Amino acid sequence: MSLERSIRPLERLQTLRECLDRKGFARILEAHSGISAIIAESARIQKDGEVIEYDGIWESSLTDSATKGLPDASIVGYDSRIHTIDEILNVTTKPVIVDGDTGVEPVLFEYLVKRLERLGVSAVIIEDKVYPKRNSLDEFANQDLEPPAVFAQKIKAGKEVAVTNEFMIIARLESLIAGKGVQDALDRAEQYILAGVDGIMIHSNKQDPAEILSFAEAYRPLCQRLGRRPHLVCVPTTYNTMTEAELISIGFNIIIHANHLLRAAYKAMAEAARTILMSGRSLEADALCAPVKDIFSMVGYDHIIRKDRERSELFRLLERENNGVAPRPGYSR
């Protein structure tokens, strides 16, 4: 229930680093609205005698844009994105990682960092493509990369305005998406690490994880040579035959399941809409739908009803005490 999920921004901001320090990895799930964020925060299972749940939430540019009925092409501005982020923060307590697209230019990225950090967001990921970007899963789009020295300056600008050490800036390498290869990604990673980045995300749109594995293997000696190892991040949307355990074993610290709640919701909504048309009524769609009472419970409506009943009972008691005279609305004792 949403009112029971409360945490101060600074406390939340710290939780991603705390999770990584404690476990060595974090399992992150996409959310694009308040209710999807509650699902991400609440999901848990028992497996081999252990409770398994998500460690945080990914606020995705793709799913935020799609929820608004718009393409993921830098059309939705930061003010609109902040509104969605605030919805998610309002009903959850787990760390939130925000997809910052390209970060645009340094001065705009500085303002984004300040706003996200103040809200209690734990990290922002920006990709080293030129603005306006095209989605990385579109194999036909032009994927033009920003010069690494220019992108490194953007990282430095963000790090300089961050107030806390807990807020993380993660660089998303698009070399594999652009067909530049593993070595280009490693060369870029080196410049970003020297610029002070807190994490490196290597991205691929191929089903074959060979390039991802090659990068992960070369990442360790690169970091040893540079004297620091930012967290290694992946988004295994296309190479999803690999398990989380396998990804962790080769060095990944943050694993983001980046768009699955929106895709699942889209499929279910489309099927429900077709079923109602086909049947001429909604009865047959009930099997595709959660009971309304489950939604009420999840978003806290049951809390309101319980409070209404408590107030009604209090009014009845006060009325008896006052010889049948009902107390004024809003009366508190």
- Which residues are part of the catalytic machinery? 72
CA distances from 15 to 74, 125, 185, 323 (A): 29, 17, 29, 54
Half-sphere exposure of 109 (CA within 13 A, CB side): 29
Query: Which residue reads 């360790």 in tokens?
Result: 220
Tokens found for residue 245: 């355990």
Q: Identity (one letter) of the amino acid at 153?
A: Q
Tokens found for residue 110: 């500085």
Contacts of 128 by beta carbon, 8 Å cutoff, 6+ apart: 102, 145, 146, 148, 151, 171, 172, 173, 174, 188, 192
Strand spans (E) along the chain: 26-31, 44-47, 50-53, 56-59, 96-99, 123-127, 168-173, 199-202, 231-234, 254-257
DSSP-derived secondary structure letter, 328 = P
**Exposure pattern of 227-246 as b/e (b: 16+ CB <10 Å)?**
eebbbbbbbbbbbeebeeee
What are the backbone angles phi and psi of residue 25, rounded to the nearest 5°? -155, 165
C-alpha–C-alpha distance, residues 147 and 332, integer Å: 64
